[in-house]
Amino acid sequence: ESNIFSGCGSLSKVVFGGSYTNLKNTFDLAHTPTVYYPSSYSNTWSSYNVGPKKAYIASTSISITGNKQITVNDTLKLNISITPNMSAVGNIYYIKSSAPAIATVDQNGVVTAKAGGIATITVTTINGTTNTVNVKVAPKQITGVSAAPVTTGSVQVKWTAADNVTGYYVYRSTTKASGYKKIATVSTNSYTDKGLTKGSTYYYKVRAYVKSNSTTIQSDSSAAAKVQVSSPAPSTISVKKTKSKTAKITWTKAVGAEGYQVAMASSKNGTYKSIKTVTNGTTLTFTKTGLTAGKTYYFKVRAYITVNGKKVYSD
């Protein structure tokens, strides 16, 4: 429109990407800037006589290189190369992301990952040459993985839920360093693994994944969680004074327990020492005598099973 550059006293160059349009009073300035136009449109620019003009060789291709997969909250720098080099006017291009909720991009080619999925980054030069690249954003690594017995043949694996993911893959091994195999695909942040061998030790890892169209993108594996299949810990414990210097400890039955070990300490976070092994899985109480009047005591209970003649304890 007319006078759009009004007040731009130091304007020296304006670059156009296509054919000439009547500029009329666009440059209402004391010093008209030099106009640059693609040499392929020279015939249409021949009628421009408002001020100085120069032709440039327009771009014909764009190269985009750099890492194409990152993790949520990470950044990457795309390397953008224009051919032929438009050094006379500068490599003028515009960059945009097809999915800013997944990944944003600035005009320097720096991509910032926001959520798992695929974002198409499009680079377009001033004369209309364009190219695209798909950037895959992997979910963040899963944290908070833990595993605990549910029965003497099953364990429950839990982890911290991740935002904006399709689901999770659960892996299991009998060794910490290697041998992990995928055993489950779930949509919630827990999984109960059944049919395990009583007394055996297992290791678990978890990956989050997202599906974008037909592509699945996984996070890195979590740290390993170790568990030995035994009876679970009693879910509750209580204690009360029955008479002077005597306390009765009561706990809930643990599935599959063959017995229980009762431990005592003089402070909550102190050193607990075993005071009784209950050898019957159905006995859920123990009375401790010989305590000191006026002193406070703390108690813990854990269940056990026997494997090859050795006790395997719960938490």
**Are 53 and 34 in contact, with CB atoms under 8 Å apart?**
yes
> What global pTM score does this model have?
0.80
Exposure string over 131-142, b if 16+ CB within 10 A, otherwise e: bebebbbbbbbb
- Three-state SS at 43: helix
**Are 218 and 169 in contact, with CB atoms under 8 Å apart?**
yes
d(CA 80, CA 64): 5
d(CA 279, CA 261): 9
The distance from CA 8 to its chain's CA centroid, rounded to whole angstroms, is 47
Instruction: Express each pLDDT in 212-261 by its tens digit.
Output: 888 999 999 999 999 999 999 999 999 999 888 999 999 999 999 999 99
Instruction: Express each pLDDT in 77-110 by its tens digit.
Output: 999 999 988 777 877 899 999 999 999 999 999 9
Q: Which has more pLDDT, 12 or 273?
A: 273
Q: Cβ–Cβ contacts within 10 Å for residue 9, how many?
A: 9
Nearest partner of 217 among 124, 135, 157, judged by Cα: 135
> What six digits make up the tokens of 297?
């005591």
State yes or no: pLDDT of 66 exceeds 90: no
Instruction: Express each pLDDT in 290-305 by its tens digit.
Output: 999 999 999 999 999 9
